[in-house]
Structure 1
Amino acid sequence: MDWLLLPFEVSFVQRALVAGVLVSVVCALVGTWVVLRGMAFLGDAMAHGMLPGIALASLLGGNLLLGAAISAGAMACGVTLLSRSPRLSRDTGIGLLFVGMLAVGVIIVSHSRSFAVDLTGFLFGDVLAVRDADLLALAVAVAIAAVVSLLGYRSFLALTFDTRKAHTLGLRPKLANAVLLALVTLAIVASFHVVGTLLVFGLLIAPPAAAMVWAGRIPVIMSCAALIGATSTAVGLVLSWHWGTATGATIAAVAVLSFFLSALLAAIRRRLRRPNRATSTDNDEGHRDPVKTPEQIEYAT
């Protein structure tokens, strides 16, 4: 037990844990929709598409958070505009913007003498250097994400599963899509300075994907994803403390490992239950497998 609790006796590790929990919550609220809509590539592109703004702000001595927000906003607007082209697929547009923004960012950063240090901080952050002001910013981001997710729940749900029905119900799917992009931007921008883009993307995708293997309702998926993310943060901090590994990368690795572990346990569970299904037909109604695809999620408004 001392092995587990020893790292959290230090104040900066305690702040890192709080920061990781807050990031896990905001990423669970946003990442659930990202996973359900198949927007993982977009999330990755937006996370790395912030580099030009961050690099330019660093080079000019400006505010890194503001630079990241401007760059991410430009990325979101570019994705929205390119997605309207009938001759260009959504993934192609995202890929072009991803490579273009990343290339511009590297070009800008290459003018700085601390190129390697800046890029490392951008990717992995410094969760052990979290300040009280950072925690306050993350708490505000969580509050905004929670309010927007609650108010836009029906619109996001309709947008995810049936855009035409969303039009019919007057839920304005185009506006819902724009708001969802803004939420993704909020989660990434609010978190990157603390934990880096690698950990943000890991917590944005892995915990919701792990929760979807077992849960069938979106609020439950969000809650389980937040719990998985928070647990991954705590485990990652302990492992990093004792093994001397990079903290952000360790937390991200634990989060991704949680998905594979969840998928493995679900596969074992299905295999163990298969003989029972072969001998009983009425078992299908009362004991179905957990939801695996967005189409099977309960459409509850």
Structure 2
Amino acid sequence: MDWLLAPFGVSFVERALWGGLLVSGICALAGTWVVLRGMAFLGDAMSHGMLPGVAAASLLEGSLFLGAAVSAVAMAAGVTALSRSPRLSQDTGIGLLFVGMLATGVILVSHSQSFAVDLTAFLFGDVLAVRPGDLAVLAAALVAAAVVAAAGHRAFVALAFDPRKARTLGLRPRLAHALMLGLLTLAITASFHVVGTLLVFGLLIAPPAAVVLWARSVPLVMAGAALLGALSTVAGLVVSWHLGTAAGATIAATAVALFFLSALAAGLRDRRPRHAPPPPRGGGSPRKEPEYTS
């Protein structure tokens, strides 16, 4: 067992473990709704849309976290505003904002003669450089994400599966959508400096997508996604330690590999012949269980 426990005897790997576990929890809460609502393109666009804020903060020698937060909020506000146009599809608005924000960030970077902005660190992160202060920020973000997810759960469920019913029940779907964007913004902003903008997308999508093939309720998807994210973190750090690979990229690759294993197992399960249940005594067809429950 020394090969498994030895990496975590080093302080910076131990901090990376705790950072990855916290990120996994945050991404599970937000990523579940991203997967259930088919918002993967939006998540990708928002993760890259933080570049202008990060570049500007670096040039002004300010807080990269604050710059990323401002940029992500601006991106979410723009998506919300454009989605209200009846003549413009949401994907078109997201694509335009994505290109515009990314181009603005590249322009800001090109004006930096000293190359103050480390694009490699921004894109791929450095999970092994997590500091105690970063863990405190991630812990606070996890608590905030849990509060938002719990408070908006009923509205999120209705919005994900039947937006018209959400409006009928007075759940204010537009406000729920904005709150869901806020949850996604919180997850991406809090996590990007640990695993980078490209790799946070992997933890945001892969674990929930793997669990949604098996779980039948939203809380189970969230719990399973958090567990898979934690497993990906532990396995990725161990593999990275022994093979000398990039830790953040190895964690994300492990998460994606677990998704494909889950998809393969689900495919084999669906191919097995199933015996039809006996009809109820009163006649008629058996009741079909709902796909997901709240």
> TM-score, normalized by length of structure 2?
0.94
Q: Answer whether contact 1:43 1:184 (CA < 8 A) is retained.
A: yes
User: Which one has a larger percent helix, Structure 1 or Structure 2?
Assistant: 1
Deviation at 1:194, TM superposition (A): 1.7
Pairwise CA RMSD: 1.8
Distance 2:279 2:266 in 1: 17
Q: 1:27·1:187 contact (CA, 8 Å) conserved in 2?
A: yes
Deviation of 1:296 (Å): 2.0
Contact 1:208 1:224 in 2 (8 A): yes
Matching residue of 1:218: 218
Give 1:296's aligned amino acid: E
Paired letter, 1:106 = V
What is the CA deviation profile of residues 186-211 of structure 1, one whole-angstrom value per residue up to 9, with x for unaligned ones?
A: 00111111221122111110000000
Deviation at 1:117, TM superposition (A): 6.7
| Equivalent residue runs for 1:1-301 within 5 Å | 1-113=1-113, 115=115, 118-271=118-271, 273-274=272-273, 277=274, 280-282=275-277, 296-298=291-293, 300=294
> Is the alpha carbon distance of 1:283 and 1:25 closer, same or farther for their aligned partners in structure 2, counting shifts above 3 Å?
farther
User: Aligned AA for 1:281?
Assistant: A
Question: What letter corresponds to residue 96 of structure 1 in structure 2?
Answer: L
Counterpart Cα distance in 2 of 1:284 and 1:100 = 57
**Cα pair 1:198 1:249 within 8 Å, conserved:** no
AA aligned to 1:53 is: G
What is the CA distance between 1:115 and its match in structure 2?
4.1
Contact map agreement 1:30 1:184 (CA 8 A) in 2: yes
What stretches of structure 1 of length at least 5 have no aligned partner? Answer: 286-290
Q: Could you tell me how far apart the structure 1 residues matched to 2:173 and 2:231 are? A: 34
| Equivalent-residue separation in structure 1 for 2:120 and 2:213 (angstroms) | 33
Amino acid at match of 1:101: M
Question: TM-score if structure 1 supplies the norm length?
Answer: 0.91
Q: Residue 53 of structure 1 contacts residue 71 of structure 1 at CA under 8 Å; is this kept in 2? A: yes
Give the length in aligned residue pairs: 287
2:59–2:117 Cα contact (<8 Å) kept: no
Percentage identity across paired residues of the two chains: 70
With over 3 angstroms needed to count, the CA separation of the structure-2 counterparts of 1:113 and 1:230, relative to structure 1, is farther
* Corresponding residue number in structure 2 for 1:288: none
The residue matched to 2:118 in structure 1 has which SS? helix
